[in-house]
Amino acid sequence: MAFEFTDSNFEETALAPNTTAVVDFWAEWCGPCRIVGPVIEELSKEYDGTVKIGKLDVDSHPNVTMKYGVRSIPTIIFLKDGEVVYKHVGTATKVALDKLIKEHLN
């Protein structure tokens, strides 16, 4: 299961030094988010131990959502060593996200 980012654990998990993270900003009521969700789950298993891949519910965790200026969902933010290296808004295929992870985080 993909990691669950929250307002309280975000800094220590996604922004830690020597950490790469992919954060899917989503909501239960969002149709396109339900399309991306299974892709995030698969990638989290494939990159387990190398890249922290997970989801952040925008309705439950508004502080991180506002900090990163997320206005549309799904939004997927790629972080390396605490810095945003790429931001994708909208749905994406597994192939496209896998390519972006390899391009921007490894």
Q: What is the pLDDT of residue 4?
A: 97
Q: What is the helix, strand, coil percentage profile of the chain, to 5?
A: 35, 25, 35
Counting the structural domains of the chain, the total is 1
Catalytic residue among 30, 35, 89, 100: 30
Query: Running DSSP on this structure, what letter comes out for residue 73?
Result: S
Is 30 marked active-site? yes
pLDDT at 89: 97
Catalytic pick among 2, 14, 23, 33: 33
pLDDT of residue 105: 72
H helix or E strand, kind and range, residue 53:
strand 52-57
pTM for the model:
0.95
Task: Look up the CATH number of the domain holding residue 29.
Answer: 3.40.30.10
The letter for the amino acid at 56 is L
pLDDT at 106: 61
Task: Identify the H or E element spanning 36.
Answer: helix 31-46
- What pLDDT does residue 14 have? 95
Averaged over successive runs of 10 residues, the pLDDT of the chain (106 residues) comes to 94 93 97 96 95 97 97 96 95 95 82
Structural domain of residue 20, as residue ranges? 3-105
